Amino acid sequence: MSDNNIYTIPTMAEMAAKGESPEVLFWVGCAGSFDERYKAVTLAFVKILNQVGISFAVLGEEETCTGDHARRAGNEFLFQMQATANIQVLDGYNVKKIITACPHCFNTLKNEYPALGGKYEVMHHSTFLQQLIDEGKVKLADGGEFKGKKITYHDSCYLGRSNEIFEAPRAVIAALDADLVEMKRCKTNGLCCGAGGAQMFKEAEPGDREINIERTGDVLESGAEIVASACPFCMTMLEDGIKNEEKEGAIKVLDLAELIVKSSSEI
């Protein structure tokens, strides 16, 4: 992947062929690799990694699904097949540290792979971005694009309630000098976007209202101009909800990495 040939992203295989080992493996995830909208998030995060001089690589074609959706849908056999194959690849490259922008990948790699022998230091990009800001490695422009703008943050279930990462994303938003406005259902009381548990890939069950439409109602009530997201599935569901309410011109959904890139004078 490259951005006008500015950035070339090495694969683990290419680095291993040169006898090199990166500091971190960037686990791109299915959405970050194939979803047109989330490819922009992948590129934004890569720009940040390059700017701060982190030595990183991706698996490229050797990366496959973590198996999260298979397990949530009840196919334990498929999950273990996918997980075991991934662990063999990761261990083959002696991977120690993994960063991913997907809470589903994060949760599975961090909490479920160890039972199958895959033990790694796994970070979600929200925590990593907060660290970069705190350490002064990422500098945001004074009076940046989001200064004073109302931004609300949607807690991903797999990042928030499942792993208790609530403050890192909010710290990133605070660094933008934006006006963080919380939705009435947030943090431990956050409302699912409707895509978790493999629901993204099945038809909705009978009911009065789609969950993402219900969640979009919370967004509208907050009065925010921007919804900050840290999950590809949440981003899709929120964007669809906003389109349903015909508010695309008034409310934007942006990932934390995109917010930083847009606010930095150096990236």
* DSSP class of 75: -
Is pLDDT above 90 for 255?
A: yes
Is pLDDT above 50 for 251?
A: yes
3-state secondary structure of 150: strand
CATH number assigned to the domain covering 140-263:
3.40.50.10700
The pTM (predicted TM-score) of the whole model is 0.93
Cβ neighbours around 153 below 10 Å, total: 27
Same fold, 12-129 and 140-263: yes
Which residues are registered as beta bridge partners of 252? 226
- In tens, the pLDDT along 160-175 reads 999 999 999 999 999 9
> Both ends of the chain: CA-CA distance in Å?
17
Of 198 and 178, which is predicted with more confidence? Answer: 178
Which residues are registered as beta bridge partners of 123? 99
Task: Give the integer Cα–Cα distance in Å for 242 and 100.
Answer: 26
What is the CATH architecture of 12-129?
A: 3-Layer(aba) Sandwich (3.40)
Cβ neighbours around 93 below 10 Å, total: 18
* DSSP class of 177: T
* Per-residue tokens: 258: 């995109």
* Per-residue tokens: 12: 């683990």
Domain boundaries, the chain: 12-129, 140-263
